[in-house]
Structure 1
Amino acid sequence: MRIAAEEAYGEQSLVEYLLADPSFYASLALVVFFGLLMYMGVFKTIAKTLDDRAEGIKNELEDAKRLREEAAEMLASYQRKQREAEAEAEAIIAQAKSEAKMLKDESRKELTERLERRTAMAEQRIAQAEAQAAAEVKAAAAELAAAAAEEILQSKLKKTDLNKIVDADIKAVADRLN
């Protein structure tokens, strides 16, 4: 630098050169300014502000992490509850199907029993009607036989005629029964 200063200003000394150079004063003012800032604690204040800001960001990140973990736990809880609700719904549906099948089977059984009872009652009525009809036919046959016997006795028919009448009456009774 000295060589450059000698070339620029000739025989002047370095101090004279620096005192004549405006950039020297600007540099000196800058150093003094930063010295005053340091003395007044501005850098500490700036550092404290930056540290506080960094601490605030760190706290926000921790809160965000905590909230994300809580959200993940809540999501897992809701998913578990949803699976439980679906399983419960499936169980209710299965139970309803089972109960419906059981009611259907019971209704079918009850209907079958009712039909069997009605069929038995109808068969019993038919049997009673048949028995009554047979009794009526027998009574009519007995009356007819008595009437025929009376006629035979009254007319004093021959035995061969009597056999013909009895055979005819028996045939008539047999035809009525069938």
Structure 2
Amino acid sequence: MRSLIILAAALAASPAMAASGPFFSLHNTNFVVLIAFLVFLGVLVYFKVPGVLGGMLDKRAEGIQEELNEARKLREEAQSLLASYERKHKEVQQQADSIVAAAKAEAEAAAEQAKSDLKKSIARRLQAAEEQIASAEASAVREVRDTAITAAIGAAQDILAKQMTAEKSGALIDASINEVKAKLH
């Protein structure tokens, strides 16, 4: 109502009022337009158009609010899904890191085991080689000793054969027989 009064006052103070002739006449177009406008506003108020428009605007605001709430809800769900995927990604990354670390540790342990086995194998082979060398050395010493004994026996035979006479031979045989008798009885 207050707005209608202000509107009427604004129209009353218009330059049209300064024109010649009475303002409140049906021949004055400004007056006719003013009356038509006021009737139009009255019809709008009578049919409660401002309330309907307000209701429509309220419904639209409620729809927008519902959409905002739904969007907020979807955003929260998306954030929770993102957090979940990031957690899973971190867990998978940690598992991958632990698998890599375990594989490195196993590889290092296998390398150390291989080194240890290689050292043991080398030690066994060195021991076997030393034993073969010792055996070959002992065999060579035996062979040299046997050869030396054979040579000494041969030389002693030659010397004894040259120095041996029948008398000496008989005396040695008798001495050997006496010695065997003494040992047997």
TM-score by length of 2: 0.70
Q: Cα–Cα, structure 1 residues 105 and 37, in superposed 2: closer, same or farther, change >3 Å?
A: same
CA deviations 1:41-79 (Å, max 9, x no partner) are 333322222111111111121122222222222222222
TM-score by length of 1: 0.72
TM-superposed CA distance for 1:117, in Å, is: 0.8
TM-superposed CA distance for 1:87, in Å, is: 2.0
Of 25, 30, 55, 1:19 maps to 25
TM-superposed CA distance for 1:110, in Å, is: 0.6
Are 1:126 and 2:133 matched, yes or no?
yes
For these two proteins, the number of residue pairs brought into alignment is 148
TM-superposed CA distance for 1:17, in Å, is: 5.0
CA deviations 1:131-168 (Å, max 9, x no partner) are 111111111111111111111111118xxxxxxxxxxx
* Alignment-derived partner of residue 108 in structure 2: 101
Gaps of 5+ in 2: 1-11, 165-185
Q: In 2, Cα distance between the equivalents of 1:108 and 1:136?
A: 41
Of 143, 146, 149, 2:150 maps to 143
SS at match of 1:19: coil
* Alignment-derived partner of residue 34 in structure 1: 41
Deviates more, 1:103-112 or 1:71-80: 71-80
Q: In 1, Cα distance between the equivalents of 2:23 and 2:130?
A: 145
2:23–2:31 CA contact under 8 A, matched in 1: no
CA-atom RMSD, angstroms? 2.4
SS at match of 1:18: coil
Gaps of 5+ in 1: 10-15, 158-178
* Alignment-derived partner of residue 63 in structure 1: 70
TM-superposed CA distance for 1:8, in Å, is: 4.9
Q: Cα–Cα, structure 1 residues 86 and 17, in superposed 2: closer, same or farther, change >3 Å?
A: closer
Q: Give the % identical residues.
A: 38
AA paired with 1:52?
A: K
SS at match of 1:43: helix
Q: Cα–Cα, structure 1 residues 118 and 27, in superposed 2: closer, same or farther, change >3 Å?
A: same
Are 1:83 and 2:83 matched, yes or no?
no
Deviates more, 1:97-106 or 1:78-87: 78-87
Q: In 2, Cα distance between the equivalents of 1:46 and 1:134?
A: 128
Deviates more, 1:20-29 or 1:58-67: 20-29
Structure 1 stretches of 4+ with a deviation exceeding 6 A read none
AA paired with 2:65?
A: K
AA paired with 1:22?
A: T
AA paired with 2:53?
A: I
Q: In 2, Cα distance between the equivalents of 1:124 and 1:74?
A: 73
Q: RCO greater where, 1 or 2, for CA within 8 Å and sep 6 or more?
A: 1
